[in-house]
A and B are shown apart, each in its own frame.
Chain A
Amino acid sequence: MARTPEAFKKNQDIDAYVRHEVTEIDLSDRRVRVENLDTGKEWWEPFDQLMVATGAVALRPPIENIDAEGIYGITTLKSGMIFKGVVDREKPRRGVVIGGGYIGLEMAEAMLMRGMEVSLVEMAPEVMGTLDPDIGAIVSQSLIDHKVDLYREEALTGIEVKNGKVTAVITENRVLPADIVVLGTGVRPNSDLAKAAGIPVGVRDGIIVNERQQTEIEGVWSAGDCVQTHHLISKKPFYVALGTVANKQGMVAGINIGGDDAVFPGAIGTAITKFMETEISRTGLSQKEIEDLGWEFITGKVKTRNKPGYYPGAAEITVKIHAEKGSGKLLGGQIVGKQESGKRIDTIATCLHAGFTVEQMVFLDLSYAPPFSPVWDPVAVAARKAVKEI
């Protein structure tokens, strides 16, 4: 749960001010301009060290009426609370979700749980673009099974509005009546402030930092959803907006600001979510990301059960892994399955960090008893399949 400014003051003597926006960074005089959003008062605040942790902002499709009443992007606790308040108060019947990524799926679930009719519009052939299309297809089917009206390979083309409030979403092929609309169209680094100050940015305008989380300006640090990050597998900079990465990078920046020495080694984009009873997780490089690098690769994929078939509660799981052709070095993995499937991605993530080959994964000494797993864990089975392809 949120920690309050009062707790930060009391426990750590940190002065945290909410509803205060920094509107400018002045690097030559080492100061920031602050505005109190309640009083409108503005002033300059000097610094010796500066931590830029401005996060990400929701991408809004460049379409007329996208800012109409009833259209929500969910990026902060506050925006989530506003959305929940509207749903509870106005009891909308028809919800339309634009974009089938993490936010889109979670919001579709939230609306279904409140008994709403939900449509989801996705531009790509399948939802969850961070997965390979064949794995994303399993998630798409789960949406359909739960009576979500799923429209794939359809782009948003317009918004119908009456008295300033959304009434329908228009795609290439249809008009979807809507009482409420959620934008799950992705985020970008909120780096405008840093850019305007002359702090260099890289991939997708993520702020460039070294492994100590320092920007290219001495004494100016940055971390989280506003920075570009080193990818441990591709060895290239990439952009990923994940709370796990933000917490670690923030910790590293703080240790260095505090005069000690810490390094953030990089990330592999490990992420997990769920839609109703379907768990979805991924780590490392997807098929498309490997192809974009021009690397030759092999794949192991298995659809099985996450407990012995005779055991009550045994549920379907699909595990897919990619490895480098020839060496067999693991490059990435994806899991979709019912309850108690998703966290198996952490085994694959750990193997990626360790630089394991798929042969090494086959002989991982993993835990087994029927309530938890088959004697060959589905991850090891996927590795065995991949080994055959080397």
Chain B
Amino acid sequence: MKKERLVVIGGDAAGMSAASQARRRKPEMEIIAFEKSPHTSYSA
């Protein structure tokens, strides 16, 4: 079966908090995040 896939646009506080919480609940989910700046999660 194809894995469920989450795409996150924006890798700072809101985006990476969401990605982390989704991961805890769905270990099988594919999670991929795109951030246009050179840094992730600097205000989280």
Contact = CB atoms under 8 A, between A and B. Distances in A.
Interface residues of B, number: 39
A383 B13 CA distance: 35
A78 to B, nearest CB: 5
A224 B14 contact: yes
Given A8-B40, A17-B34, A18-B35, A51 B4 contact: no
Interface centre among B11, B30, B32, B36 (most CB of A within 10 A): B36
Nearest to A219: B6
A63 interface: no
A49 B25 CA distance: 14
Contact of A49 (B5, B23, B40): B5
Given A18-B11, A47-B7, A223 B35 contact: no
B36 A53 contact: no
A180 interface: no
B27 to A, nearest CB: 8
Contacts of B44: 3, 243, 247, 250
A259 B16 contact: no
Interface string A42-61: 00011111111111000000
A7 B18 CA distance: 16
Interface in B1-44: 4-26, 29-44
A140 to B, nearest CB: 28
A156 interface: no
A246 B13 contact: yes
Contacts of A1: 42
Given A50-B6, A50-B9, A258-B29, 10 more contacts: A4-B40, A5-B11, A32-B9, A45-B34, A46-B5, A49-B4, A224-B15, A243-B43, A253-B18, A258-B26
Q: Which 9 A-B pairs have the closest CB atoms?
A: A254-B21, A258-B25, A224-B14, A250-B17, A53-B15, A53-B10, A250-B14, A254-B18, A47-B7
